[in-house]
Amino acid sequence: MREIGFRFRDDDGSASDYTGPYYDVYKVNDQIQIGSTTREQIKFYYVNSDTSLLDRVRYEDDRNGTPQRSRFDLATGIRCKVKWVPGSITRLENGETVFVSNLAKLQ
C-alpha cells in the first residue's frame, strides 16, 4: 500500500466555493486469483478525509483486450451495532451504472 496524498478534491480545483468531499487516496497493488490464474490489480482507495470512512474504490482492468474502468461508490450512513456500513453500493463501469445495492439497517 502507498499513500498518494491527502485532502484531494473531487473536481478540477478551480472552484473557490467547493463544498464537496475531500479524499485521502491510497494505491494498493492487489493479487487477484481466478481459478489457477493470478494477476496483479492496482486499485485506488478514496477515504473521506473528514469521516475516515471508505467512500470510493477505482481500478482498471482488461476485458478481452478492452480497458474497463470500474468504480465502486459507497454511501455511508447505516450504523450496525458499533460500526458504520455502507447504506448503498454503486458499481460503475466506464462511467455507466451497472449495479446498485441499497442496504437495510441490520438489527
The pLDDT of residue 107 is: 47
Average pLDDT over the chain, rounded to whole? 85
- Determine contact, residues 51/32, Cβ cutoff 8 Å: no
Out of 46-50, 69-73, 99-103, give the one with best mean pLDDT: 46-50
- Determine contact, residues 90/83, Cβ cutoff 8 Å: no
Q: For 25-46, write each residue's pLDDT tens digit.
A: 999 998 888 889 888 889 999 9
pLDDT band at residue 80 using 50, 70 and 90 as cut-offs? low
Instruction: Report d(CA 31, CA 42) in Å as an integer.
Output: 9
- Determine contact, residues 89/100, Cβ cutoff 8 Å: yes
CB atoms within 10 A of CB 46: 23
Higher pLDDT among residues 78 and 103, named by residue = 103
The predicted model scores a pTM of: 0.78
